[in-house]
Amino acid sequence: MMRIGFGLLVATVLGSAMYGQTVASPQLIDAPKVARDCATGGEWATPAERECYAITPDYTATMSYLQRVEAATPGQVKIESFGKTGEGRDLDIVIVSRDGVFDPVAIHAAKRPVVLVQNSIHAGEMDGKDACLALLRDMVITKSKAALLERAVFIFIPMYNADGHERRSRYNRINQDGPAEMGFRGNGTNLNLNRDYLKDDAPETRAFMAMFHRWLPDFFVDDHVTDGADYQYDVTFTIDDGPNMPSATAKWVDDVVTPGLEKYVDAHGHLAAPTYINLVNDNDPAQGLGFNDDPPRFSTGYMILEGRPSMLVELHMLKDYKTRVIGNYEILAGLLDLVNRDADKLIAMNAAADKEAEAMGAHPLSNVKYPLALGWGGQTTPFLFRGYKYTRELSAVSGAMWVKYTHEPWNVSLPFQTGFKVTAEATLPAAYIIPAQWTKVIDVLSAHQVEMARTTAAWSGDVETYRCAGMMWQEPPFEGRHPTFNGEALHDPGKFGSCALVRERMSFPAGSAVVRLNQRLSKVAVEWLEPAAPDSAMQWGFFDAIFEQKEYGEAYVLEDLAREMMARDPKLKAEFEKKVASDPVFAGSPSARLEFFYERSPWYAANRVGLYPVGRLGSLDGIPVGR
């Protein structure tokens, strides 16, 4: 018998693909040469620069450098704590303002756009931190980038996942080229903070929300380093432009920001891709690039609900650390340059987005649909992909196809999945009412600073709500919970249960929360309270108890009940007999056969199993709402 060995070649890419023709290779940075070329930054060299980018500084050394800059430039730089990590470390922002104004109210009143950059949320991906240290130095010490503060106020979080940042090891990122040691992906309780934005479980997230709403930045950036394929780009980035972004903002992103940043980064010695590189098939790059979903568990997905443009930056893991840090530096400099130039337009678009959100409940219970979850729309667009040639082998280790990349350029037109398909949607009420006893659900909205009123007395009435059934829960934990969606996979409506809109008479105690959809954060409320939304309270398990049956019938009682029900209702009798005849599992289960009748009785209905406790209100008439 012939055995398949390690070296059985199945396919080799030689510079062409099924989808298009190859094109000329661009001139790229000589990455090894750049890595060997040690910077000479003098007394203000950053800790990474001083060590020729072999290291990234730890928490203490990072803050020491920042405090030194702050002391040298008291009129331009201020370090401000915004909370504590679970392990007790300070969470800080660094505020850079040309004229010493550090008050967000005064800054917004002066029509100065605020750019907030978040670094080290995945603390093994710290490139943005070291880029921000260098950019700060060049803004206020060397002054070579002082012009970037002409209108803009630059704020950055050096180490958001500070606890993970200090869990340093050379083994934290197996597929990353440097630095020598790096932080860990999870926080102190092993939560991925970039899956926590809407559910708000971690202390870091709670602190972030308070800081974010104090500053309410005009543009948000989240700096990362990739996993995934190998390719020529050292800087990739994406800015959301989907149907839940205001159309004017989406047009500005598509027509101005994205092409402008790609041009700027390329002109400064790097190669940028204006998309997150997500292969349809990791074992066959020729199949093209996949659709990128961005639900609000992610930082940039959450910013859609805030009505603010946001950019995900992904440096390429296999480029040397200096190349990655400088690439991060250049895209941030390019963004600040663009924000200064388009300051008035950006501020006006954000104000319009706020007004649009405040009007979401103006036509309650109408036929206007709000998209809750999105998927690939079935369209593909040719994308000029600058990858590397590769071979594919059948692996005797994994049993799957094994991709081995060369460093020979492969420039080819590949299909890129584009276009959005709405996979879940809802009409919107004027307001939601949440019973007072569901404190954890209400607490999350409070942490997001969603405006709520409380009922001053008990109230009962007819409301819209949902009846949910067929729910399934993911067995392995995902971010400390057992959600009703499949972990990192796109939300698949119906796969893990479904909820049908119904009208019910419900009772709400005094102190119940009323959430009007006439506020800036209406989208946050909708995404948290509509069960079909991919990161709703329902999906994350905050309402799991409604699916627990607390009252039951004894078998000898149900035997009599079943006979009485069949005697009164021949159709029910026929339905039961048909199920017994057609479903062997049901027929063989005495408890299921008796439960068939209990579930169709008034006693079961009184359990309200699967009845969603949140009400949807068409108006607030007659409801005792306080201020």
User: Which residue bears the tokens 């479904």?
Assistant: 498
Rounded to whole angstroms, the Cα distance separating 376 from 250 reads 18
Q: Within a 13 Å sphere around the CA of 283, how many CA atoms are in the beta-carbon half?
A: 11
DSSP state for residue 149 in the 8-state scheme: G
Closest CA to 47 of 33, 66, 34, 32: 66
Cβ contact 106:291 at 8 Å: no
Which pLDDT belongs to residue 33? 40
Q: For the beta carbon of residue 529, count every other beta carbon within 10 angstroms.
A: 23
Which pLDDT belongs to residue 368? 73
Give domain limits for the chain.
9-357+365-419, 428-548+609-617, 555-607
Closest CA to 595 of 555, 545, 560: 555
Q: Are strands 90-96 and 9-12 parallel, antiparallel or unpaired?
A: unpaired
Which pLDDT belongs to residue 441? 98
Rounded to whole angstroms, the Cα distance separating 12 from 107 reads 57
Rounded to whole angstroms, the Cα distance separating 602 from 299 reads 46
Q: Which residues contact 214 (CB under 8 A, 6 or more apart)?
A: 82, 104
Which pLDDT belongs to residue 41? 63
Rounded to whole angstroms, the Cα distance separating 162 from 184 reads 10
Which pLDDT belongs to residue 429? 94
> What residues does 373 pair with on adjacent strands?
424
Measured between its terminal Cα atoms, the distance across the chain in Å is 81
Q: Which residues contact 193 (CB under 8 A, 6 or more apart)?
A: 121, 160, 161, 187, 202, 204, 205
12-47 pLDDT, tens digit per residue, is 343 333 333 333 433 333 333 444 456 556 899 999
- Distances, alpha carbon 218 to alpha carbons 135, 415, 437, in Å: 19, 33, 36
Domain range 9-357+365-419, CATH architecture = 3-Layer(aba) Sandwich (3.40)
Query: Tokens in use for 533?
Result: 């939304």
> What residues does 418 pair with on adjacent strands?
379
Give the helix/strand (H/E) hosting 602.
helix 602-607
pLDDT beneath 50, residues of the chain? 1-36
Cβ contact 398:487 at 8 Å: no
Rounded to whole angstroms, the Cα distance separating 297 from 193 reads 9
Q: For the beta carbon of residue 204, count every other beta carbon within 10 angstroms.
A: 27
Rounded to whole angstroms, the Cα distance separating 293 from 495 reads 18
Give the helix/strand (H/E) hosting 594.
helix 590-598
Which pLDDT belongs to residue 230? 96
Look at phi and psi of residue 195 and say left if phi exceeds 0, alpha if psi is from -120 to 50, else beta. alpha
- Distances, alpha carbon 477 to alpha carbons 108, 186, 484, 547, in Å: 42, 14, 11, 19
Q: For the beta carbon of residue 331, count every other beta carbon within 10 angstroms.
A: 26
Q: What is the pTM of this model?
A: 0.91
Q: In what order do the strands lie in the sheet with 513-516?
A: 453-454, 513-516, 431-434, 615-617, 459-469, 498-508
Give the helix/strand (H/E) hosting 432.
strand 431-434
The alpha carbons of the chain give a radius of gyration, in whole angstroms, of: 28
Q: Which residues contact 385 (CB under 8 A, 6 or more apart)?
A: 231, 285, 289, 410, 411, 412, 413, 414
Query: HEC states along 150-198?
Result: CCCEEEEECCCCHHHHCCCECCCCCCCCCCCCECCCCCCCCCCHHHCCC
Closest CA to 98 of 89, 110, 87, 84: 110
Which amino acid type is present at position 513? A
Whether the bond into 179 is cis, omega within 30 of 0: yes
Q: For the beta carbon of residue 474, count every other beta carbon within 10 angstroms.
A: 16
Q: For the beta carbon of residue 609, count every other beta carbon within 10 angstroms.
A: 17
> What residues does 224 pair with on adjacent strands?
314
Query: Tokens in use for 89?
Result: 């470390």
Which pLDDT belongs to residue 526? 97
Query: Tokens in use for 441?
Result: 């659900």
Which pLDDT belongs to residue 292? 87
Residue 336 has φ and ψ, to the nearest 5°, of -65, -40
| CA-CA-CA-CA torsion sign (407, 410, 415, 416) | positive
Query: Tokens in use for 599?
Result: 């579930």
